[in-house]
């Protein structure tokens, strides 16, 4: 069964884009905001399984 994905949120962050602000949402439903270097560098990356 193919589930239709909801449209990306307005002002969303593309893959590998900076998502440091708390309100930032990744455009891709399968992406999540990943932070490193004591949460100084945050970016959207793929990673959710079964997506």
Domains of the chain, by residue range, sit at: 7-51
pLDDT given at position 3: 61
DSSP per position, 15-38: TT-B--STT--BSSTTEEEEEETT
- pTM score: 0.71
Is the separation of the CB atoms in 27 and 18 below 8 Å? no
Tell which residue, 7, 3, 49, has the closest CA to residue 25: 7
What is the distance between the alpha carbons of residues 34 and 17, in angstroms, rounded to a whole number?
A: 10
pLDDT tens digits along 6-42: 777 788 999 999 998 878 899 998 999 999 988 889 9
């Amino acid at each position: 069964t193919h589930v239709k994905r909801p449209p990306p949120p307005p002002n969303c962050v593309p893959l590998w884009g900076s998502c440091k602000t708390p309100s930032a949402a990744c455009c891709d439903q399968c992406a999540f905001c990943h932070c490193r270097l004591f949460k100084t560098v945050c970016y959207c990356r793929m990673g959710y399984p079964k997506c």
